[in-house]
Amino acid sequence: MARKTLVAANHKMNGTLQSVKEICQNLNNAQLDPNVETVVAPPAIYLLAARETLKKEIAVAAQNVFDKPNGAFTGETSAHQLKDASVDWAILGHSERRTILGETDETVASKTKYATDNGISVIWCCGESLEQREAGKTLEVIAAQLAALKKEVSDWSKIVIAYEPIWAIGTGKVATKEQAQEVHASIRKWLKDNVSQQASDETRILYGGSVSEKNCKELAQEADIDGFLVGGASLKPAFVDIINCKK
């Protein structure tokens, strides 16, 4: 069975109530490729507005979710609260949370397990720094991140992997299609060797890192690239062109 393309918008800490609604209305009004699953991740304060504005075919994602049920966890959001708000996705393990907020591989894995166990699908991010790539450690770093996830997770059906080289996020630098395909293929092989053939065949692997309407078509042609996690370009009308890049 072919893997369905997924394109997700990570708004990060950007936008206003008005701009989020405008982005959502623009997506509602656009002719989007029906063969692409579209997910929008606005800042937490705008999740409800996005869900209420977007047509039901477009999913909404939180940019974080905690690994405990409701309780005395100031500033956090639970999987149960997301489900209550009809938010069915979360982005976890983004390099900005790993590097700026100190989330470890183990923390990200724990959050992913709790989210998926409680009905939230997860876009789980991995990637290497420029120093790690230049040292030839890209695949080693990603294998370690995957191994931490495997310790916690047994059901991979609600996990989408996003490969985001840290050196390409917000820098304008993009991995070449060959660089991206090499890492995506290695992730798929890791899944085959360490999880199952089914997980390898069915898990979608997205590319992220300065994706734009200018480079998405070429990247999308690679066999193991199943879509994109889009940052800055998702705030612009051209995000529609990225969703439709295979049409």
Active-site annotation, residues: 94, 164
Contact between residue 201 and residue 207 where contact means Cβ atoms under 8 Å apart: no
Angle CA(106)–CA(8)–CA(126) in degrees, nearest 5?
A: 30
Cα–Cα distance for residue pair 58/80, rounded to 1 Å: 20
Record the tokens describing residue 220, joined without a space. 């999308």
Place of tokens 């949370």: 97
Separation of alpha carbons 140 and 146, rounded Å: 10
